[in-house]
Amino acid sequence: MPSTPGRFMPLYTCTYAQGSLTPGVKDELAADITGIHSDINHVPPEYVNVVFAEMPPENVYVGGRPGTPLLITGWARRGHPQDATTRLALALAEAASRASGIPREHVMVVILDSPARSAVEAGRVLPDPGHEAEWLTAGRAGA
C-alpha cells in the first residue's frame, strides 16, 4: 500500500548481511519500528518509513572481520526530548533482536536528528516538532 506524501517522515534504514533477515522478519521488524516510533514520538504510523538495505556478506564487517550485524539508523526532526530518543533507541534495539534472532550484542541502533528545515518531503520543508498542524493546514491551502 503506497504511503501518502507530505507526512513529515521519520526514516529508518536497516542494513544487514544478505540472508540474515527473511521477508517475514522484515515485515515484523517494520511493524515493530513503526509502532515503537509512533508510540514514543506521538505520530501516526503512516508517517514512519522503514527501508531495508541488504548487503552482500563480503561487504559487511565488524571489527575488521566479516560479520552479520543488524544496523538500524533512524532520522527524525530535531526537537524531540532526549530521554524519549534514548527510550526509542533502546526499544528499537530490543525489538530488532527479538524479531531477527540476532543477538543484542550484534544489533546497533543510532538515532540521528537534524533541524526540520534540513529536510524536504513532497516538495515542502518539514515543520519543527509541535508545528505540524500549521504545516498541514498550509499544505491543504496550497493544494
- Give the span between the Cα atoms of 128 and 134, in whole angstroms: 10
Query: pLDDT-based confidence at 7, cuts 50/70/90?
Result: low
Average pLDDT value for residue range 106-114: 96
Query: pLDDT-based confidence at 132, cuts 50/70/90?
Result: confident
Please check the confidence at residue 37 and state whether its pLDDT lies above 60.
yes
- Of 110 and 143, more confident: 110
The Cβ of residue 61 has, within 10 Å, a number of other Cβ atoms equal to: 12
Average pLDDT value for residue range 6-33: 92
Q: Per-residue pLDDT tens for 55-72? A: 999 999 999 999 999 999
Domains and CATH numbers, the chain: 1-31+44-115 (3.30.429.10)
Chain centroid to CA 110: how far?
9
Q: What is the largest CA-CA distance in the chain?
A: 54
Residues with Cβ within 8 Å of 55's Cβ and at least 6 positions away in sequence, in order, are 15, 16, 17, 18
Average pLDDT value for residue range 44-54: 93
Smallest CA-to-CA distance from 129 within 75, 74, 79, 76 is with 79
